[in-house]
Structure formats: C-alpha cells, structure tokens
Amino acid sequence: MPLVLEPLSPLLAAHDGHLPGPLLDELTDLYASNAAFFALSGDFPDPYALQRDEVASSINGELAHPAAEVLIAREDDGEHGRLTGLAVTLTEHPDPLDPYPWIGLLLIHVGLQRAGRGRRLATAVERRLQAAGHDGVRLAALDANPDGLAFWRALGYRVIDHRTDHALARPCTVLHKDLPNG
C-alpha cells in the first residue's frame, strides 16, 4: 500500500488549533503502542498509561518550534487510510552552526513494525527534505536504544558524534546521512 505523509499543521488550523478527536485517538494509540520506547526516553511520566492530553501536549510542544513539522503517515487503502506512523522534523537546528535538518522522532505503530514501514517512512521524510533543497539530514538516537541505532545505521546513517541531549540529559549518538542531489 502506498504511504501518504500529511503535515499536521493544516489539520490543526482547520480545527481552531486543536487535534480532531478521532485523530487524537489514533495518535494516542500510536504513542501508547510505543510505550517501551517512551520508557527509555523518559518523555512521559508513565508511558504505560498514556493519556490523550499528554499526547496532545507533546505534539503541541513539538509544533511550538517554528522550524518543526509533524507528519502523520497513513497507508492509503483508497479511503481515509490507516495511521501507521508519525515523524517530527526540524528544518533548522537550534545550533546556528548546524546547517542540517533533523529528524526528531519517527514512530511506527508497534503492531505494524518489522514489515518495512519504518524504512518507508524514513525514506519519505528524507525525500521530502531533499525536495526542499537539503543535502543531508541528522538525528540523535538514544544510547539506551540499540535497536533504534541499528535501524538508522541500516538505513545508511553514519555516527558523527556522541552528545547529551539538552532536554533530559540523555546520552545520544548523533547520526548523519547525505541526501544525493536530484
């Protein structure tokens, strides 16, 4: 099935800045299915009991940054399409010396993982960034998440640094991938 990426901002604008209830339910289910990841990340007080308002707050927090974009991924089944994932990108890094966009988060519903969907979503995000004129992309994988690090390395990302993230002081591995022209 084709993967369709949809920016979240226009949907919010069409609903007075609020996530429509059915979409928020889908997003809460997506986040809740990834509780083990969020337990590693520390992003939520109790990732095994995520609430709709916590997910809405997290997404709104992402969108508060002017260079951020939240993309929802659906598999096009000819109708509305099933929400399979989400990606958060940052086209401008807070460090003005870093010229590359960053992938801040990439989630695939746990029940749909291990079937190439993560690779398809990452590739779609890379193509989107490439079409916007970027020649590379970066991300930080939590050192506590070796599966995540292996996923990104398998997609051609190379380790360029080790840092502690600013938000929660978590050890991370910084990875980079060149995006070829054209």
Residue that has been written with the tokens 């022209």 in this structure: 181
Predicted local distance difference test score (pLDDT) of residue 148: 94
* Identity at 73, one-letter amino acid code: A
Cα separation, 57 vs 74, in Å, equals 22
What is the value of pTM for the model shown? 0.91
pLDDT of residue 149: 96
Which domain covers residue 14, as residue numbers? 3-178
CATH of residue 167? 3.40.630.30
Give, in degrees to the nearest 5, the angle at Cα 120 between 38 and 145: 30
Number of domains in the chain: 1
Spell out, as residue ranges, where the chain has pLDDT lower than 70: 1, 77-80, 182
CA distance 20 to 88: 19
Between CA 78 and CA 163 the distance in angstroms is 43
- pLDDT tens-digit series, residues 119-164: 999 999 999 999 999 999 999 999 999 999 999 999 999 999 999 9
**HEC-encoded secondary structure of the chain:** CCEEEEEHHHHHHHCCCCCCHHHHHHHHHHHHHCHHHHHHHCCCCCHHHCCHHHHHHHHHHHHCCCCEEEEEEEECCCCCCEEEEEEEEECCCCCCCCCCCEEEEEEECHHHCCCCHHHHHHHHHHHHHHHCCCCEEEEEEECCCHHHHHHHHHCCCEEEEEEECCCCCCEEEEEEEECCCC
